[in-house]
């Protein structure tokens, strides 16, 4: 499988350039040694190679000649110094970078790669979850969230992330994140649930026709959030816990007792029992404007011991034909915790590393460039056979990127493709 042209490294790199060049730089041009494009692209290159340190990244680049890989592979004309790079990334409003996520998703759609993510025949599963990417007790900005204890105040930055997942697909496709951040002039702090309402609205604006099921943890199975999801013309599968939904669980018991519910029990090859139970059209809570929702529950039982159980509410009518898939969809939410945040935090992307906070947009822009690098790697894992062959040369993801970094540092390449070819089949440099 060769990647289609519009999904190859050069095309994606070109699309980054176009988005970066479209940003209006209102600063005094005479004072700028480096164009905004080169700063953003250098920041992206650092994340692309998962460099843990900006200074190290730059030191290595300076060791290369003027015909550096940064120029041949990433089209950076002049390599910015550390302070200039930070200053520029602090200046650029993160909003300018968000359209890149939809651009790349459309490319996957055009290349027919999105079809394999279809769930229940037509939907796309979109779990949402919050994560923190900066924290400090000293450095802060007006956008920082904060918690105060007796000893100190802790400042932090958080985003709410949405990704497209499928229960059977390893790769996740990130959508543009929603910052959870304070704005000037408001006393009340921003929170994840408000960010969630904004996020579903912006996903709908960016993807007007995509059939979407939002999945979320028990924080989200509340009427105001469900209203926002409905307004955005989306469906939902949201975790509902007995402690948060006493009346709902009581009503489910009553309806089940009079035979208004359904159930299914399956035994798999390993002898484990999968127990499903559902009730359609039950009020979410006791208030009179509460929606009727459809409730389902799942237990996994190996040898008389329940190892996993969970329960959800959804707007999709449940029957014995879709219950197994609905549970898979609800459980696929872990992919945003494991395959996304865990990878970003512990598999080399250093997402919690403090690359710099700045005064305005620096820490957020570092986060976004990191997320875009992750997205590009996921696209190659889906579409690019040469990339996958190189990846298979090392077992761990971190090791692979260390190999890419070393190669990028030691040898000069005409292009990204050239570099991958050399890794895949190294030329015999020392042949007599």
Residues near Zn ion (CB under 5 A) are: 141, 143-144
Least distance to Zn ion from the beta carbon of 39, Å? Answer: 20
Taking the least distance from each CB to Zn ion, the nearer of 182 and 394 is: 182
Phi, psi of 56 (to 5 degrees): -60, -45
C-alpha torsion angle, residues 357, 362, 367, 368 (rounded to 10): 170
Least distance to Zn ion from the beta carbon of 312, Å? Answer: 35
Least distance to Zn ion from the beta carbon of 353, Å? Answer: 16
Listed in sequence order, the DSSP H helices in 164-214 are 192-206
State whether the Cα torsion 53-54-59-65 is positive or negative: positive
| Count of beta carbons in the 10 Å neighbourhood of residue 325 | 14
Least distance to Zn ion from the beta carbon of 16, Å? Answer: 25
Least distance to Zn ion from the beta carbon of 143, Å? Answer: 5
Q: 400: closest CA among 384, 383, 388, 417?
A: 388
Taking the least distance from each CB to Zn ion, the nearer of 267 and 354 is: 354
Taking the least distance from each CB to Zn ion, the nearer of 143 and 177 is: 143
Q: How far is CA 109 from the centre of its chain?
A: 17
Taking the least distance from each CB to Zn ion, the nearer of 360 and 418 is: 360
Whole-angstrom CA distances from 148 to 133, 137, 151, 190, 236 are: 19, 10, 8, 15, 35
Taking the least distance from each CB to Zn ion, the nearer of 144 and 164 is: 144
Taking the least distance from each CB to Zn ion, the nearer of 165 and 180 is: 180
Least distance to Zn ion from the beta carbon of 141, Å? Answer: 3
Whole-angstrom CA distances from 339 to 68, 80, 118, 134, 345 are: 33, 33, 18, 20, 10
Asked if 400 and 392 count as a contact pair (C-beta separation under 8 A), the reply is: no
Q: 177: closest CA among 395, 371, 378?
A: 371
Taking the least distance from each CB to Zn ion, the nearer of 357 and 377 is: 357
State the DSSP code for 431: -
C-alpha torsion angle, residues 210, 215, 220, 224 (rounded to 10): 30
Least distance to Zn ion from the beta carbon of 284, Å? Answer: 36
């Amino acid at each position: 499988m060769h990647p289609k042209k519009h999904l190859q490294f050069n095309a994606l790199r070109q699309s980054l350039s176009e988005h970066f060049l479209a940003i209006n730089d209102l600063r005094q041009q005479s004072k700028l040694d480096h164009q905004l494009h080169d700063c953003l692209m250098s920041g992206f290159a650092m994340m692309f190679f998962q460099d843990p340190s900006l200074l190290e990244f730059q030191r290595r680049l300076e060791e290369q000649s003027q015909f550096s890989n940064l120029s041949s592979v990433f089209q950076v004309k002049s390599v910015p110094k550390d302070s200039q790079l930070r200053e520029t990334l602090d200046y650029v409003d993160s909003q300018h970078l968000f359209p890149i996520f939809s651009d790349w998703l459309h490319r996957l759609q055009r290349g027919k790669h999105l079809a394999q993510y279809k769930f229940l025949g037509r939907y796309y599963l979109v779990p949402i979850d919050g994560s923190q990417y900066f924290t400090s007790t000293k450095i802060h900005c007006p956008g920082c969230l904060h918690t105060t204890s007796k000893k100190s105040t802790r400042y932090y930055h958080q985003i709410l992330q949405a990704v497209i997942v499928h229960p059977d697909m390893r790769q996740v496709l990130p959508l543009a994140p929603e910052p959870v951040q304070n704005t000037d002039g408001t006393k009340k702090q921003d929170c994840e649930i408000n960010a969630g309402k904004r996020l579903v609205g912006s996903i709908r604006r960016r993807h007007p026709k995509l059939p979407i099921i939002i999945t979320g943890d028990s924080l989200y199975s509340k009427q105001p959030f469900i209203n926002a999801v409905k307004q955005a013309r989306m469906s939902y599968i949201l975790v509902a816990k007995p402690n948060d939904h006493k009346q709902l669980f009581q009503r489910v018991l009553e309806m089940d007792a009079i035979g208004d519910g359904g159930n299914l029990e399956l035994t798999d090859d390993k002898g484990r029992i999968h127990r499903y139970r559902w009730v359609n059209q039950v009020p979410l809570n006791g208030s009179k404007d509460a929606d009727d929702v459809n409730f389902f529950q799942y237990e996994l039982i190996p040898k008389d011991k329940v190892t996993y159980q969970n329960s959800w509410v959804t707007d999709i009518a449940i029957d014995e034909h879709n219950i197994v898939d609905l549970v898979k969809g609800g459980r696929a939410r872990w992919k945003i915790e494991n395959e996304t945040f865990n990878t970003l935090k512990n598999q080399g992307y250093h997402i919690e590393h403090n690359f710099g906070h700045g005064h305005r947009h620096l820490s957020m822009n570092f986060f976004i460039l990191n997320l875009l690098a992750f997205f590009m790697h996921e696209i190659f894992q889906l579409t690019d056979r040469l990339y996958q062959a190189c990846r298979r040369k090392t077992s761990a993801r971190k090791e692979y990127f260390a190999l890419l970094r070393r190669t990028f540092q030691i040898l000069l390449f005409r292009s990204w493709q050239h570099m991958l070819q050399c890794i895949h089949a190294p030329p015999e440099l020392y042949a007599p």
